[in-house]
Amino acid sequence: MSSSQTAAPALSPTLRAAIWMLGAIASFLTMAVAGRILAAELDTFEIMTWRSFTGVIIILGVITLRGRWDQISTRHLPLHGLRNVAHFAGQNLWFYAITVVPLAQVFALEFTAPLWVLVLSPLLLGEKMSRRRVLAALTGFAGILLITRPGSQPLSPGLIAAALAAICFAGTIISTKRLTRDTPTINILFWLTAMQAVFGLICGGYDMDFAAPSAALWPAAVLVGLAGLFAHFCLTTALSIAPASVVSPMDFLRLPSAAVLGLLLYNEALDPYVLIGAAIIFGANYANIRGDRTVPTSP
C-alpha cells in the first residue's frame, strides 16, 4: 500500500485555526496571571515595556537563528503602526482592568471584540457577512449582556477600561488580518515588539520614574513577555489560515477558562449568570464554526 493511501486526511483550515487559537487562549490566561503579579510593583506602561523588551530579545534570536532577516521589511509600515497603537492602547487598558475587576468579567467584556470584527470585517476586509454570522454575533452579544448585566452594578473605571480594550483589540485583529495577506508572521511580530517597546519607554518614562521589577518578580516579567509573544504568534497564524470573523469567536473559550482560573487562584465566585451566558456564547461559536466547515445545501 502506498504512503498516499495510508496518509491521514489533512485538517480543515477551520480546525487548524482552532488548534492555534487554543495556544493563544492558554497564553492570554498565563499573561493575565503574570500581569496581576507584576501590578504589585509596576504600572501598566512599565509592564508593557518589560513585556515588549522580552519579546524583542526572543524575536531577534529567532530571526537570526532561522536566517529570516530577509523577511523583515518596512512595507506596510503605517499599517503596522496603526495596528500597534491600537494594541498598545488596548493592552494597557486590559492590564489595568484585570487588577480591579474579576477575570471572568474582564474577559466577558473583552469578547465584544469579535462582535466588532464580525460587523467590520465585510467593510474593511471584504469578507462575506452571511445570515448565519449575523445570528451568531447577535446570539453571542446576548450572552455577553447576560454575563455583564449592565445597570445591575456601578459602571466602574475597570469595566470601562475593559470595554474600551475590546474596541482596540477589534482594530488589532482587523489590521492583523489585512497584514497576513502578504506579510510574513515573523515580520508582524518583529514590528509588534519593536514598536511597543518604544511606546512603552515613552509612556512609562514620561515622569522620569521608570521602575524595574524586583528580583522576585523577574520570572513573572519574563513570563508576561513569553506568553504575550506566543499568544500573538498563535493568533496571527490562525488569522492567516481562516477568516477573521471565524477565528475571533473561537476566543470565547477564554471565558469559562478565566472563570475557573479566577475561582481557583483568587477565590472569585462563579456567577451563575456567567455560566449561562458562557453556554449561549458557546452555542453561537459552535454554530459559526460548524457553518464554515459544511457546504450549504439548497432548500
Q: Helix crossing, 44-66 with 218-241: angle to 10°?
A: 60
Question: Cα–Cα distance between 176 and 21 in angstroms, integer?
Answer: 15
- For position 296, what pLDDT does the model report? 37
Question: Cα–Cα distance between 108 and 149 in angstroms, integer?
Answer: 11
Q: Is pTM beyond 0.85 here?
A: no
Torsion on CA atoms 16, 22, 27, 33, rounded to nearest 10: 170
- For position 294, what pLDDT does the model report? 47
- 93: which 3 cell numbers? 487598558
Question: Cα–Cα distance between 28 and 176 in angstroms, integer?
Answer: 17
Question: Cα–Cα distance between 191 and 286 in angstroms, integer?
Answer: 34
Question: Cα–Cα distance between 173 and 21 in angstroms, integer?
Answer: 13
String of DSSP letters for 173-194? HHHHHHHTTTS-HHHHHHHHHH
Question: Cα–Cα distance between 113 and 159 in angstroms, integer?
Answer: 14
Question: Cα–Cα distance between 120 and 270 in angstroms, integer?
Answer: 33
Question: Cα–Cα distance between 107 and 140 in angstroms, integer?
Answer: 13
Question: Cα–Cα distance between 28 and 231 in angstroms, integer?
Answer: 6
pLDDT along the chain (299 residues), means of 10: 56 86 91 92 88 89 92 93 94 92 83 75 75 81 76 77 89 86 88 91 78 89 88 83 74 79 88 78 70 42
Q: Over the stretch 163-221, which tens digit does the pLDDT of each residue have?
A: 899 889 888 888 888 888 888 888 998 998 899 999 988 888 776 677 888 899 999 99
**What's the distance, CA 123 to chain centroid?**
21
Q: Distances in Å between the alpha carbon of 191 and those of 80, 158, 230?
A: 7, 29, 15
